Amino acid sequence: MSFDLEIEKMIVKTLSNLVRDRLVGQTIADTLGSVTVTSEIAYCLWEYGEKNIAKSAIDRILEYQISSGEDSGAFLGFGLKQASTWATINALRFSLAVDPFLLLDHRIELCVRWLSKIQKNGGWGLVKESSPRCFYTAHCLLALLQTYQSLQTIKQSKLNSFQVKKLMDLESTLTKSIKKARVFLLKRRTGSLPLWSKDMNSSNVCVLSTLIGLLALIKYGSCFKPVLKREDIEKVYFDYIKPALIAFKDFKLGEAWPRIEETMPVFSIHFHTPASLFMVLELGVDPWDDLCLEMFAWLQNNYVREGQYVGWKGTPSNSPEKILLWATAYGLVSLIQLRKVLENKSRDEILDKIFTPPTAERINSNVYRERIEKCEEKIRNVVKTKNRLKILVVILIAILLVTYLNFLWVGWLWIVSNWQFMAPLFAFLSAASILYTYLRKRKKEARSKSRSRYLT
């Protein structure tokens, strides 16, 4: 899969310029800043490699934390005048994804304690007064698990006694909230399979809630004890998630975000396609799967320009061609994740998939053939160069050996009686052997690098 690198760089430039000195909103024109959107942009820039900009954006976000009162540690929601669970979840999760050692900052500790304090029956809603919902609970569980992983990382470093005591106390609170959230999600399944509805009053399956619920419990299993069976995860993906999303692959503006049941509330698929691709890849789905290819094709065909900026569009009712910044952030991080997955696959496995007929219909295989041929040519050139060099070294050794022996040739008795003069010869042969070993190692490294980079 090949995305236009120039467009990708323009998207990175767009996001970098926007968060350089302020919080951004849902769109470029928004004057009201959003903690959630800015956090998501900071995370994607961190993943891309713009680490300084990401850190400064996170520092700016933490300045907007509520510092006093009963909601101390929380953040205000976008357009809200009250503490928002959703904004606090994202600020916590993406701050620690950028820098795990921020957990030593008292502001991050306040975040964790506020979320633990407002937990209702193991779950969370949009704001602290809301009824718990699986969607927000799964997101909060991911944020708390990110906190738990950061805590384990920090414990490996040198800490003073005050920091150790502080982290031990926080770990106890954190673990209790995580276990409660796990129980909440397992109890709220719509059946025996890990499927979740939009809210507690519905038995219909919600694709987004199911995706994020799966990710949360899978991550829980990596930190504690697994609670989901691999065969159940695969069944949910192939029997529920994939059919629902593939059915909407030819969507247009205004069409509904797919749900298993028609009675579910509607959302635009344009809002969620970039984030869905990221979540599907996080589940471990093969990037050559039909669904991944469809969503990648959407990213290729639906970026828009808004003045000097480039990003992916949303569907505000009055301006369908406006850039939606959080969708743009997830689109970029999806490309990064896709690249990581492809780079980790073996070369032969990818080649087999590229040239299968179903895949050839969906991707521009000529581009890949050209790249593969270039890499094969590079490998052949390296091999030829190394072979010529080895022949040259052998000839040079033979010439030097003959010359050396001519100088020393005065009879075998002289050689035996003056063996110390043969030491330079043995030293030379040793050096030649070391050089040959080094060249073989460089040859293997060059071939390995050529194979791992041919899709980048």
Question: What residue has token string 């038995």?
Answer: 203
The pLDDT of residue 182 is 95
**All residues at 6 or more sequence positions from 136 whose CB lies less than 8 Å from its CB, including other chains:** 85, 86, 89, 123, 124, 125, 126, 130
Q: How far apart (Å, rounded) are the C-alpha atoms in residues 316 and 328?
A: 15
Q: Which of 132-146, 364-378, 411-425, 427-441 has maximum average pLDDT?
A: 132-146
Question: In which band, very low, low, confident or very high, does the pLDDT at 255 lie, cut at 50, 70 and 90?
Answer: very low
Cβ count within 10 A of residue 66:
17
Summarize the confidence of residues 186-195 as an average pLDDT.
Answer: 88
Higher pLDDT among residues 157 and 411, named by residue: 157
Strands 75-76 and 83-84: antiparallel
Q: Which of 98-112, 154-168, 173-187, 396-410 has the lowest mean pLDDT?
A: 396-410
Number of H helices and E strands in the chain, helices first, is 18, 4
- Collect contacts of 156-162 with beta carbons under 8 A, ≥24 apart: 157/101
Written as six digits, the tokens of 181 are 């959230």
User: Percentage of the chain with pLDDT > 90?
Assistant: 30
- The CA distances from residue 63 to 75, 83, 396, in Å, are 10, 15, 69
Summarize the confidence of residues 100-116 as an average pLDDT.
Answer: 92
Domains of the chain, residue spans = 5-346, 365-453
Q: Which of 93-102, 122-131, 242-251, 401-410 has the lowest mean pLDDT?
A: 242-251
Q: How far apart (Å, rounded) are the C-alpha atoms in residues 327 and 36?
A: 12
The pLDDT of residue 416 is 59
* Closest C-alpha to 138, from 202, 84, 214: 214
Higher pLDDT among residues 81 and 256, named by residue: 81
- Regarding pTM above 0.75, the answer is no
Higher pLDDT among residues 347 and 165, named by residue: 165
Angle at 325 between CA 324 and CA 331, to 5 degrees: 90
What pairs with residue 313 in β-bridges? Answer: 323
Q: Which of 31-40, 54-63, 190-199 has the lowest mean pLDDT?
A: 190-199
User: Percentage of the chain with pLDDT > 70?
Assistant: 76
Written as six digits, the tokens of 70 are 């009963």
pLDDT at 166 over 60: yes
pLDDT digits (tens, 9 = 90+) for 352-371: 444 344 443 444 444 455 55
**The dihedral sign for the CA sequence 214, 47, 112, 117:** negative
The pLDDT of residue 54 is 93
Cβ contact 200:235 at 8 Å: no
Q: How far apart (Å, rounded) are the C-alpha atoms in residues 418 and 298?
A: 80
The pLDDT of residue 373 is 65
Question: In which band, very low, low, confident or very high, does the pLDDT at 139 lie, cut at 50, 70 and 90?
Answer: very high
Question: In which band, very low, low, confident or very high, does the pLDDT at 204 lie, cut at 50, 70 and 90?
Answer: confident
Summarize the confidence of residues 229-246 as an average pLDDT.
Answer: 84
* Closest C-alpha to 323, from 307, 339, 335: 307
Q: How far apart (Å, rounded) are the C-alpha atoms in residues 294 and 280?
A: 12
Higher pLDDT among residues 5 and 216, named by residue: 216
Question: What residue has token string 């800015």?
Answer: 38
Summarize the confidence of residues 37-41 as an average pLDDT.
Answer: 93
pLDDT digits (tens, 9 = 90+) for 55-91: 999 999 999 999 888 899 999 887 777 889 999 999 9
Question: In which band, very low, low, confident or very high, does the pLDDT at 418 lie, cut at 50, 70 and 90?
Answer: low
Q: How far apart (Å, rounded) are the C-alpha atoms in residues 219 and 145?
A: 7
Q: How far apart (Å, rounded) are the C-alpha atoms in residues 259 and 276?
A: 13
Cβ contact 448:346 at 8 Å: no
Provide the CATH topology of domain 5-346. Glycosyltransferase (1.50.10)
Question: What single-letter amino acid sits at 130?
Answer: S
Summarize the confidence of residues 36-59 as an average pLDDT.
Answer: 93
pLDDT at 351 over 50: no
Q: How far apart (Å, rounded) are the C-alpha atoms in residues 342 and 350?
A: 8
The pLDDT of residue 186 is 93
Q: For the chain, what is the mean pLDDT?
A: 79
Summarize the confidence of residues 378-385 as an average pLDDT.
Answer: 78
**All residues at 6 or more sequence positions from 367 whose CB lies less than 8 Å from its CB, including other chains:** 2
Cα maximum dimension of the chain: 103
The pLDDT of residue 361 is 41
The pLDDT of residue 326 is 86
